Structure 1
Amino acid sequence: MMKRQRRWTINLLAVFVLGWGFTSYQHIFLGLILGTVFSFYNLWLLQRKINHFGEAVSRQERVKTLGTLSRFAAGALAILIALRYDNHFHLIAVVIGLMTTYVVIMIEFMVSKFETSLRKRGE
């Protein structure tokens, strides 16, 4: 599941790069790229923390946090970069880019549920 989420995000990032290269909306696509890169970092960080969380629970150890503060800081850094270089990055596109992995997670969840229901019907 985690590999699929990363693959979907990388493919979406590739589409944004193509949009940046071949359209006249370069500042919008550059904002989407910046936001998606930071969103991808947050996804990687969250998946890593979830793995550590699962291992700690299985060993019955004390559970650490899932790193919400570091993910918020990464998002804030992306916004600060967009504000500092506003002639290159579209701010709203950066915010939308920051949300892309969450949309990918929801789509992957729905696809997974759909595949599970199809398998149950086939049995």
Structure 2
Amino acid sequence: MSDIKDIFVRHRKYIFYLLSIYVLGYGFTPYQSVFLGLIFGTALSLYNLWVMVRKTERFGQAIAEGRKVMSIGTFSRLASAALAVMISFRFPEYFHSAGVIVGLMTSYIVIMIDIIIQTIRK
């Protein structure tokens, strides 16, 4: 399962680079609500990615030991995404809803781009 941790470290690094770009955009552009929405959504996307990696590791250990596994955390990831969208609707002056939604998809976009890069390298 160390491969999953290595992949997660690489994805986390990419997401932190994106977050730093978003922070610069928040500080130096007039589109502060858009960038704050991107920051908020991407931070929750990173959290969801961490939960998915942690649950996948536990799933693999349980399968190796012959135990049953209840879930891989889909409900908690969906609940955090729904909470982020509800917060963006509640405070539209701070968080742009489209920015939050795009931010929530960031980890999946990073995963797809990383797969393409790793395929080309091999």
Length-normalised TM-score, structure 1: 0.91
Whichever residue aligns with residue 87 of structure 1, its letter is E
Shift of 1:71: 0.2
2:121 to 112, 115, 119: 115
Question: Match for residue 37 of structure 1?
Answer: 43
5+ long unaligned stretches in structure 2:
1-6
Whichever residue aligns with residue 111 of structure 2, its letter is I
Whichever residue aligns with residue 82 of structure 1, its letter is S
Runs of 4+ in 1 over 6 A off after TM superposition: none
SS at match of 2:79: helix
5+ long unaligned stretches in structure 1:
117-123
Larger radius of gyration: 1
1:82 to 81, 84, 88: 88
Say whether residues 1:63 and 2:80 are aligned partners.
no
1:46 to 49, 52, 66: 52
Whichever residue aligns with residue 59 of structure 1, its letter is E
**CA RMSD, Structure 1 to Structure 2 (Å):** 0.8
Length-normalised TM-score, structure 2: 0.91
Paired-residue identity, %: 45
Whole-angstrom CA distance in 2 between matches of 1:114 and 1:2: 19
Deviation string 1:20-60 (CA, Å, 9 cap, x unpaired) is 01111111101101110111110110010011111111112
Shift of 1:63: 2.4
Whole-angstrom CA distance in 1 between matches of 2:16 and 2:59: 25
Shift of 1:112: 1.2
